[in-house]
Structure 1
Amino acid sequence: MDYKALTYFYHVATQQSFTRAAEALEVAQPAVSMAIKRLEQQLQLTLFHRHERQISLTDEGERLYVQAQRIVQVMSDADLEMEELRGLEQGAVQLGTPSMLGSYHFPPIIMAFRHRYPNLTFSVYEGGAWQLQQMLEKGELDLAVIEAEDIPDTIEARTLMREEMRVVVDKDHPFASRTAVTSAEFLQEDLVLFRKGYFHRKVIDRLAEESGIQPRINFETNLLPLIRAIVKQGFGISTLLNMATEDNPELVTLSFDPPIVLDLCLAWRKDGYLSKANQAFVDFVLEHGGNNEAV
């Protein structure tokens, strides 16, 4: 099987578009179309359903895509490892992190890391913990911060921090004079929450299911400044990590009763090649505030 054609197939299946795949591969679209056609002829299988301007994988294409994901990732890892063995001096760190950690926890760590390793480049992707875990498993991210709960066997993780989820209200809210509220009390308030896929939302959805209470979600947004602004104006309450509210005296935080504590981990694929740049960042993070405990 032609590896180049398999790579083209993988990108077309991932992008669900010949045009977008060609752009990602930086080749002409006809070259992609011809490679897929030759691959189908070689295999004597139809890999895509073609419906005017839309495409989708056939059952046979779905089976090949699973294998193509593994092969493309292994080849990419091999290329990277060989480059480093040839003495590559520069490298790149690619990190996925939830928005709160990306805004508050990592900036000073990244700046200190860049000071120690000025020749390395750094890319940060913000997203929900579940989305980041999926991207990590697919090889779309090298490192990601995820929850310690339900980590699959394919992921290696080290505890980064333990953080309490705090109820956040404005200064005039009835909860502001208290030290804690139950999950039932929280769920019956007007809520401002992250969208599904973020670890905060996952916790709240679980609390709602366990208590049998339908939460009153008035606002959904992944924009942290907007959540804080809505709460500050008294249009709802939320839950955030303490680091996201420490610089805002107009907001009041209190604990859940019982407290909700999250274990957050720095994670990477067990079967992937962790480049020297990424390994340096892992070591640096664990040295500056992380925990070496395996999860």
Structure 2
Amino acid sequence: MDIRSLRYFLMVADQGGFTAAAEQLHIAQPAVSMAIRKLEQTLDLPLFNRHERRVTLTDEGEVLARHARLILQAVADAEREVRELHALERGEVRIGIPSMLGSYYFPPILMAFRHRYPGVRLEVIEAGTRKIQTMIHRGDIDMGVIVTDTPPTDLETHRFLQDQMMAILPADHALAKADTISYDAFFAEELVLFKEGYFHREVIDRISEEVGVTPNIGFETNLIPLIKQIVAHDYGITTLLKMVVADDPALVAVPFTVPVWLDLSLAWRKGHRLSRANQTFVDLVLEQAPASHSR
């Protein structure tokens, strides 16, 4: 059993097929099939159920997959740490950030880090908070930004921002000059929302369930500029962090009568030692964090 075989094995498991795995690995499909066959012969166990269109893991394959992910992540961690010198002349930071924060909060931090440590490679992945947690567990990224109103027990989390979700309305909307907006008034409007899996959407789903209403969703998109245009042209309203519309005179941010506060944190696998590059990035994010607001 070698590292390459385990990597091929996990790619087949994740892609659900040998051909798709070969495409992702940029190698010929027979090479993948041969590696898996040798792995099964070495273990004297079937690792996949071969169906006509898709392969799935056997019970033995599920066990191996769990250990293989840990092994490959440990190897990747060791390689990164060995490559990094005492000074941050080299290294890599792989971070998942939801689009709202990636577009309006993190750019100055990312540029400041790049300016201080030009030899460190930054890889920023845009995704919803649920997918980010999955990617952290799988080792696809080193850390990510998640909502931690209820901190996950299997992740190390450090809060860097507490901010309020606001109702976003066109400037000429009847409620634009209101001090606050009730949930009933908000849900009476046609809504423009992110797709499921993003904290923006989870906030709305949670509140609608609490008040017992079904949101009237007119548009679903993760494109923030499109959301802002739709709201500005009075085709619906939405909810975003105030920073997203701070410089847009066509839009107004109104707090909810019952405030909706979010705790946003950097997260990584619990018990995982961050590389020097990653720890330095975490330190910079926490250093730049604004003072917490009181709820």
TM-score, normalisation: structure 1: 0.92
Residue in 1 aligned with 2:192? 192
Q: Residue type of the partner of 1:95? A: I
Question: Retained in 2: the 8 A contact 1:187–1:213?
Answer: yes
| Distance verdict in 2 for CA 1:64–1:222, change over 3 Å | same
**Matches for 1:70-81 after TM superposition, within 5 Å:** 70-81=70-81
Q: Residue type of the partner of 2:149? A: E
**Matches for 1:167-206 after TM superposition, within 5 Å:** 167-206=167-206
1:206 CA drift (Å): 0.8
1:87 CA drift (Å): 8.1
1:16 CA drift (Å): 2.1
Q: Work out the CA distance in 2 between the residues paired with 1:31 and 1:119.
A: 35
Gaps of 5+ in 2: none
Alignment: residue pair count: 292
Give yes or no for the alignment of 1:31 onto 2:31: yes
| Distance verdict in 2 for CA 1:245–1:70, change over 3 Å | same
Report percent identity of matched pairs.
51
Residue in 1 aligned with 2:68? 68
Give yes or no for the alignment of 1:223 onto 2:223: yes
Q: Work out the CA distance in 2 between the residues paired with 1:175 and 1:87.
A: 54
CA RMSD of aligned residues (A): 2.0
Matched position secondary structure for 2:236: coil
**Matches for 1:31-110 after TM superposition, within 5 Å:** 31-84=31-84, 89-110=89-110
Q: Work out the CA distance in 1 between the residues paired with 2:177 and 2:105.
A: 28
Q: Work out the CA distance in 2 between the residues paired with 1:25 and 1:271.
A: 30
1:63 CA drift (Å): 2.5
1:149 CA drift (Å): 2.4
Give yes or no for the alignment of 1:123 onto 2:86: no
Gaps of 5+ in 1: none
1:182 CA drift (Å): 1.4
Q: Work out the CA distance in 2 between the residues paired with 1:190 and 1:260.
A: 20
Residue in 1 aligned with 2:114? 114
Q: Work out the CA distance in 2 between the residues paired with 1:87 and 1:236.
A: 51
TM-score, normalisation: structure 2: 0.92
Bigger shift: 94-103 or 38-47? 38-47
Residue in 2 aligned with 1:234? 234
Q: Work out the CA distance in 1 between the residues paired with 2:85 and 2:113.
A: 23
Q: Work out the CA distance in 2 between the residues paired with 1:2 and 1:92.
A: 25
| Distance verdict in 2 for CA 1:86–1:55, change over 3 Å | farther
Bigger shift: 80-89 or 109-118? 80-89
Q: Work out the CA distance in 2 between the residues paired with 1:154 and 1:213.
A: 33
Deviations 1:198-254 (A, max 9, x none): 111111111111111111111110000011000000010000000100010111110
1:86 CA drift (Å): 9.0
Q: Work out the CA distance in 2 between the residues paired with 1:215 and 1:185.
A: 12
